[in-house]
Amino acid sequence: MLFNFCKNSEGVFNSAYRMQLLAAVSVTIITFCNGIGLGWCAPMLAKLQSASESPLDFTATVQQTSWIGSLVCVGGIIGNVLFGVLLDRIGRKACIYLLAIPHMCFWILVYVAPSIEYLYAARFTSGVTGGGTWVVLPIYIGEIADPNIRGRLTSLFTLFLNVGMLIGYTLSSYVPYHIIPIAVILLPLLYLLIEIYFPETPSYLLHCGKEEEAKKSLKFYSNYTASTKVEMEKFNIKYEELKTAVQQQKSQSDAVTLRDFFTKRALRTLGIANMVFLISILTGSYALLSYMSTVFVAVKTDIHPDTNTVIIGVVQILGAYIAIILVDRFGRKVLLMISSASTGICLAAFGTYAFFVEETSVDLTPYSSWLALVLMALIILTANVGKIPVPAVVVVEILPPKIRANGVSFSVAMLSIFAFTMLKVFPPCMEAFGLATTIWGFAVFSALGLLYITIFVPETKGRSMNVDEN
């Protein structure tokens, strides 16, 4: 199915883009691994609260599960900052290798966990990898990808994350607890072996003054073969343009200073980047995905909550697939607007259904086996078409080249703070105010987010990654 999404001459399967596609797929293996860890958590949180279903020798309270759910974001902040600092110091490739280490620690801690504190630590280390991927992978893919396919390749990030979450949902629901870590810890090892094949990005090598290596890297990612003189000339022009752009960036200043973040353009773009991430969090997608089984328990569906969660995992993949098809065709802003509007409507409908379940005695038996599932599926589908994958693309494209690495790191760190706050307060809010009121709050933020995106967010489709545009 994936190989049918673009058949035109500018599609990702064009021979000129072959190595870019393979490189993007290879690095997103770690996103797939991280997705498994995230998906594993959703059904597990519900089980840990039940004395009869807990696979360990202890159970967790609502407050403890909220910490398990939210500590991934604390680790995410550390990952954002750490990899943001390392990205320009040790390079994109070295950071890509390092992403696998905390993820492997996550599964080791899960396997040996004798107490709740081990699960806290496990989620923290999982967050370090997750936070790092949001910084490293969009920049790596942005630097190797042609503008014609950059949006689609960057959106693979979310597709692989969602596929991983589906696998995690399924494993956590149906496979014995201690079997899962043994099986999936092999995946990051495979990822490390595959990454040996791919070189550092041409932009970073030029930044380090390694011109011959940069030329080889550009040839590799362009799938270049000198079959004709015209093709040689085209490649040389492309290389010189890249070299000139990198030199212009370096000529401004080799060291990024605090003043660079307080220019009018830097403040404006950082503000937009962080607002786009904040809108994504406040509209509830991350909270609903993290506590999916708990939400389905609250609305009393006839289907087992874990089964519903697995079905939603399939819907996530469909949404990410649609985003890949549309992001370079219709642009980033349009997808964000459509996603915000449609998600808001679906959230309002789901909140209404939850209200009838919680606050009335209306007989919902004819609807209890399917309506909640359909509404939740629509929420997650529409969120994955825009609000979840597109902000990562927009942030990388909108920030000035000089502060891009540090700016992305800062913005994703803020994303982790937003997500931590949401994941920490969501279970207590459900307990204190009810699920319906909480969901209606998400719907209101979707409407406000749509207004902000319409007025303030520019279209970044087709922007050069190496030329500073106003």
In a domain, 5, yes or no: no
State the pLDDT at residue 81: 86
In a domain, 225, yes or no: no
Confidence check: pLDDT of 107 > 90? yes
CA angle, residues 104, 99, 183, in degrees to nearest 5:
30
Residue pair 143/202 in contact by the 8 Å Cβ criterion? yes
pLDDT digits (tens, 9 = 90+) for 154-198: 778 878 988 998 899 889 888 999 999 999 999 999 999 999 999
Range of the domain at 138: 11-198+253-456
Can you tell me the mean pLDDT for 125-129? 94
Which pLDDT band, with edges at 50, 70 and 90, does 408 fall under? confident
pLDDT digits (tens, 9 = 90+) for 328-373: 788 889 999 999 999 999 999 999 999 999 888 888 888 888 899 9
Write phi, then psi, for 343 (nearest 5 degrees).
Answer: -65, -40
The CATH number given to whatever domain includes residue 259 is 1.20.1250.20
Confidence check: pLDDT of 419 > 90? no
In a domain, 29, yes or no: yes
In a domain, 77, yes or no: yes
Average pLDDT, the chain: 86
In a domain, 124, yes or no: yes
Burial 310-323 (b: 16+ CB within 10 A, else e): bbbbbbbbbbbbbb
pLDDT digits (tens, 9 = 90+) for 350-360: 999 999 998 88
Displacement of CA 401 from its chain's centroid (Å): 21
In a domain, 6, yes or no: no
Residue pair 107/183 in contact by the 8 Å Cβ criterion? no
| Sign, CA torsion 324/328/331/334 | negative
Matching residue, tokens 């692989």: 160
Confidence check: pLDDT of 302 > 90? no
If one counts the domains in the chain, the total is: 1
What whole-number distance in Å separates Cα of residue 120 and Cα of residue 269? Answer: 35
Can you tell me the mean pLDDT for 217-235? 79
Q: Name the residue with higher pLDDT: 405 or 273.
A: 273
What whole-number distance in Å separates Cα of residue 415 and Cα of residue 434? Answer: 25
Can you tell me the mean pLDDT for 217-229? 80
Identify the burial level of 226 via C-beta atoms within 10 angstroms of its C-beta, where 0-12 means exposed, 13-18 middle and 19 or more buried.
exposed
The two three-digit tokens of residue 373, written as one number:
């599932």
State the pLDDT at residue 9: 41
DSSP, collapsed to helix, strand or coil, labels residue 148 as coil
Which pLDDT band, with edges at 50, 70 and 90, does 443 fall under? very high
Matching residue, tokens 């007989």: 363
State the pLDDT at residue 189: 94
Instruction: Spell out the residues 6+ positions from residue 339 whose beta carbon is closer than 8 angstroms to its own.
Output: 382, 383, 385, 386, 387, 390
Can you tell me the mean pLDDT for 241-255? 71
Which pLDDT band, with edges at 50, 70 and 90, does 12 fall under? low
In a domain, 293, yes or no: yes
State the pLDDT at residue 255: 64
Confidence check: pLDDT of 6 > 60? no
In a domain, 219, yes or no: no
Confidence check: pLDDT of 441 > 80? yes
